[in-house]
Amino acid sequence: MKKILITGAAGFLGSHLCDRFIKEGYRVIGMDNLITGDLKNIEHLFKLKNFEFYHHDVSKFVSVPGKLDYILHFASPASPIDYLKIPIQTLKVGALGTHNLLGLAKSKNARILIASTSEIYGDPLVHPQTEEYYGNVNTIGPRGVYDEAKRFMESITMAYNRFHGLETRIVRIFNTYGPRMRLNDGRVIPAFIGQALRGEDLTVFGDGSQTRSFCYVDDQVEGIYRLLLSDYDMPVNIGNPHEITIRDFAEEIVKLTGTDQKVIYKPLPKDDPMQRQPDISKAKEILGWEPQVSREDGMKVTYEYFKSLPEDELYKKEHKDFTEYNRS
Ligand code: UDP
């Protein structure tokens, strides 16, 4: 039986990956320090004998007993609001955490796939973004802690690949959505749905002409699964190329939720990318992958998920004290 370590296992993508690898018959070790992850996302796995959970911060030395065939490094805060609250931990998990996991992969002779991001393209001047584009990134802006950690992550991963001959894979993940996103993490989909459910106006930042391309989580997981098992060790974009302006997306949410909420406009956050759309030619050619789930279908499932949460979740503010995480 193949054994896989998944970091960020209690997070949105991590938990879906745990489900997928359990389904494929793997023995899964999930690891998370639970700063932004939530055990609720994986509690259904606790009763399985092929699943084990380690509460650990991967920025510190990582140790796993026995053999290991694969590592998926998905631990990281992943929303612009999180980067502002936990900037130092965001840098550390992308940089020090990746270094620790590469070391573990080397010592176990395991193949490692690291979760990179469309953020490495910054506010892109090339559209759509191909893997060959080097990006337009502000090192010292509010998103710099995430973007630069992820860029370093790619560099050190390629260094381990070239210098140590380690088997590595790099996925560049574009905006992905679905059940288990955090309701209050500030990202646009939970933000809009939460606002609609509370009967509040939908807050579009800027004039809403900025674009995003939203990928449903099942499609994302399928792309990652295929990439891990492929022979290809250069970065691959995984995302849905169907692009929409945030203004039009807000209108879609009003229709989907059947509410009569107004759309209101707030200032655009600093360094908010104006356009984002993956060029997925590589994923198509190398992995035979392309998204299958339309935004209409994916958003219906996602809306049902948020609607099914206990009502007090809708009003819960995140009051965690992050001081310790930024300091330690
Ligand atoms: N956004 C918005 N209203 C919100 C939250 C986000 O208009 O309440 C915009 C945000 O400025 C960005 C887009 O939606 O242009 C996507 O934001 P998100 O934080 O989901 O992810 P990003 O792609 O920017 O990392």
In short, whether 204's Cβ falls inside 6 Å of ligand 1 is yes
In short, whether 118's Cβ falls inside 6 Å of ligand 1 is no
For the cut 90, the answer to whether the pLDDT of residue 114 exceeds it is yes
Question: What is the per-residue pLDDT for 110?
Answer: 98
Whether 205 contacts 266, CB under 8 Å? yes
Whole-structure pTM value: 0.97
For 232-273, what is each residue's pLDDT tens digit?
Answer: 999 999 999 999 999 999 999 999 999 888 999 999 999 999
Give per-residue burial for 99-129: e unless 16+ CB within 10 Å, then b. bbbbebbeebebbbbbbbbbbbbbbbeeebb
Question: What is the per-residue pLDDT for 39?
Answer: 98
- Ligand 1, atom 5, lies closest to the CA of 188
For the cut 70, the answer to whether the pLDDT of residue 326 exceeds it is yes
Distance CA 44, CA 221 (A): 19
- Ligand 1, atom 19, lies closest to the CA of 187
Q: What is the average pLDDT value for the chain, to the nearest integer?
A: 96
Cα 219 to averaged position of ligand 1 atoms, centre (Å): 21
Question: What is the per-residue pLDDT for 319?
Answer: 67
Cα 247 to averaged position of ligand 1 atoms, centre (Å): 11
Cα 234 to averaged position of ligand 1 atoms, centre (Å): 28
Q: Is 146 in the active site?
A: yes
For the CA of 210, the closest atom of ligand 1 is 15
Cα 208 to averaged position of ligand 1 atoms, centre (Å): 9
Which of 146, 160, 177, 303 is an active site residue?
Answer: 146
Whether 42 contacts 30, CB under 8 Å? yes
> Domain extents for the chain?
3-327
Distance CA 239, CA 291 (A): 8
Calculate mean pLDDT across residues 147-174: 98
Question: What is the per-residue pLDDT for 320?
Answer: 76
- Ligand 1, atom 17, lies closest to the CA of 188
Question: What is the per-residue pLDDT for 324?
Answer: 78
Q: Any idea which of 8-17, 75-84, 149-158, 309-318 has the lowest mean pLDDT? A: 309-318
For the cut 90, the answer to whether the pLDDT of residue 323 exceeds it is no
- Ligand 1, atom 3, lies closest to the CA of 204
Sheet with 27-32, strands from edge to edge, namely 51-55, 27-32, 3-7, 70-73, 111-117, 168-173, 236-238
Distance CA 219, CA 320 (A): 32
In short, whether 210's Cβ falls inside 6 Å of ligand 1 is yes
The CA-atom distances, in angstroms, between 55 and each of 12, 30, 60 are 16, 8, 12
CATH of domain 3-327: 3.40.50.720
Q: Where are the alpha helices (DSSP H) in the chain?
A: 12-23, 80-85, 87-108, 144-164, 188-198, 217-229, 246-257, 281-282, 295-308, 311-315, 323-327
For 193-213, what is each residue's pLDDT tens digit?
Answer: 999 999 999 999 999 999 999
Is residue 310 exposed (0-12), middle (13-18) or buried (19+ Cβ within 10 Å)?
exposed
For the cut 90, the answer to whether the pLDDT of residue 302 exceeds it is yes
Q: Which of 138, 177, 187 to mutate to test the pocket of ligand 1 (most atoms within 8 A of CB)?
A: 187
**pLDDT band at residue 136 under the 50/70/90 scheme:** very high
**pLDDT band at residue 52 under the 50/70/90 scheme:** very high
In short, whether 215's Cβ falls inside 6 Å of ligand 1 is no
Is residue 328 exposed (0-12), middle (13-18) or buried (19+ Cβ within 10 Å)?
exposed
Q: Which of 183, 246, 276 to mutate to test the pocket of ligand 1 (most atoms within 8 A of CB)?
A: 246
Whether 206 contacts 250, CB under 8 Å? no
